[in-house]
Structure 1
Amino acid sequence: MSGAVRVERVVTAGIFSLDGGTWDVENNVWIVGDDHEALVIDAAHDADAIAEAVGDRRLTAIVCTHAHNDHIDAAPSLADRTGAPIFLHLDDRLLWKHTHPDRDPDGYLSDGRRLTVARTKLTVLHTPGHTQGAVCLYAEELATVFTGDTLFQGGPGATGRSYSHFPTIIRSIRDRLLTLPPETTVRTGHGDDTTIGAEAPHLDAWIERGR
């Protein structure tokens, strides 16, 4: 197994806060890498647990699928202890400031950018709707897409709060995600995995549900 690229999940628990409300949540933190280096997707709630899972590997980046506090609250702490840069889409910079007013990301993501870890490329797909700067990360070599809160098992992420828009998330899912190979594993920000093929037939039902 030495040197093999793999995907690991760490589940952390904390509070999601927005628009004056708070909710208890469990988040999926994804680690992509091999025995030597790794990349973290969505550093949620518990920097200690994430750092323990990374172990003595070099952390190359902390990538945020969007800037809701439950996906970014542990990012600065993890960055400080590992030296890894934090990346976020530019369109979520105002939302980021709600959680971290005194600390900026180290760099901004754009559609089509490629990040490499352990010789594996992750392509940034800008998928606004859940937030303005929401992104997914497509690892073609792993037949996997990390969707944050854009697409779950059973449908789109929520769009009832600030910075969100239902027609936009539907367009993002239809045009950027459901065009991926049907066997692609969808690794979500909360809950269980699914596949593109399992979700694609339900697009029209989601649209009707959102009207």
Structure 2
Amino acid sequence: MAARVDHLVTSGTFSLDGGTWDVDNNVWIVGDDSEAIVIDAAHDADAILTALNGRTLRAIVCTHAHDDHIDAAPALADATGAPVLLHPEDLPLWRLTHPDRSPDGELADGQVLTVAGTELTVLHTPGHAPGAVCLYAPGLATVFTGDTLFQGGPGATGRSFSDFPTIIDSLRARLLTLPPETEVRTGHGDSTTIGAEAPHLEEWVDRGH
């Protein structure tokens, strides 16, 4: 059976730089009826466990370490035995949320994760966060972008650890070069495609200056 993508929306808060905001997060589960990986364990470990429905969880992959994307990761790891994987450049952000528990493994650019016969390639795409990554699954014609690319533009870069020119470089070099039919499954909000977003890059650059 080929891998499929299951989608869950969880709700909670995002806190950084002294502010707190209510947010809805996309949790993506990639796998088949026997095994899966979770991309961004946000807010509600019990809801994610329910969605897994007894499948073996191979890994909990963090697209970045803002608290709304990792707050449920330790609980989900404890419940399933799955390792939490994070790019090491996001460890300072991780420690703001989980000072007493480290991730179990590192993500590296070009690393390939395999689940249910489907390969997901790690793309290091800094800008929204130093260790932000996207996961490209060509077999599913999908890229999971976390908060690096949304429908309508790049992720926010107005807070600590973020940088606008860096996210533009990541988009230009790593994401908008993917096939135009590639579905973009984001950390918040609706999905889009590379083809729908790529023509607008220079508008985003002008807007960000």
TM (normalized to structure 1)? 0.99
Equivalent position SS for 1:130: coil
User: Matched residues in 1 for 2:3 and 2:38: separation?
Assistant: 14
1:78-136 per-residue CA deviation (whole Å, 9 max, x = no partner) reads 00000000000010001100000000000011100000000100000000000000000
User: Matched residues in 1 for 2:148 and 2:3: separation?
Assistant: 25
User: Matched residues in 2 for 1:108 and 1:37: separation?
Assistant: 21
Alignment-derived partner of residue 203 in structure 1: 201
Equivalent position SS for 2:162: coil
Alignment-derived partner of residue 133 in structure 1: 131
1:85 aligns with 2:83: yes
Alignment-derived partner of residue 39 in structure 1: 37
User: Matched residues in 2 for 1:8 and 1:36: separation?
Assistant: 14
Indicate if the aligned counterparts of 2:15 and 2:67 stay in contact, CA closer than 8 A: yes
Equivalent position SS for 1:200: helix
User: Matched residues in 2 for 1:4 and 1:156: separation?
Assistant: 31
Indicate if the aligned counterparts of 1:159 and 1:166 stay in contact, CA closer than 8 A: yes
Alignment-derived partner of residue 111 in structure 1: 109
* Deviating 4+ runs (over 4 angstroms): none
How far has the Cα of 1:4 moved from its partner? Answer: 3.0
User: Matched residues in 1 for 2:154 and 2:52: separation?
Assistant: 30
Task: Indicate the percent of aligned positions where both proteins have the same amino acid.
Answer: 76
Please report the RMSD computed on the Cα atoms of aligned residues, expressed in angstroms: 0.4
Equivalent position SS for 2:101: coil
Map residues 52-201 of structure 1 onto 2, 5 A cutoff: 52-201=50-199
User: Matched residues in 2 for 1:14 and 1:163: separation?
Assistant: 21
Structure 1: 5+ residue stretches without partners: none
Query: Structure 2: which amino acid aligns with 1:24?
Result: D
Indicate if the aligned counterparts of 1:4 and 1:35 stay in contact, CA closer than 8 A: no
Equivalent position SS for 2:144: strand
User: Matched residues in 1 for 2:32 and 2:190: separation?
Assistant: 23
How far has the Cα of 1:5 moved from its partner? Answer: 1.2
User: Matched residues in 2 for 1:171 and 1:182: separation?
Assistant: 18
Equivalent position SS for 1:27: strand
Equivalent position SS for 1:94: helix
How far has the Cα of 1:155 moved from its partner? Answer: 0.1
User: Matched residues in 1 for 2:38 and 2:65: separation?
Assistant: 15
Structure 2: 5+ residue stretches without partners: none
Indicate if the aligned counterparts of 2:2 and 2:117 stay in contact, CA closer than 8 A: no
Equivalent position SS for 1:159: coil
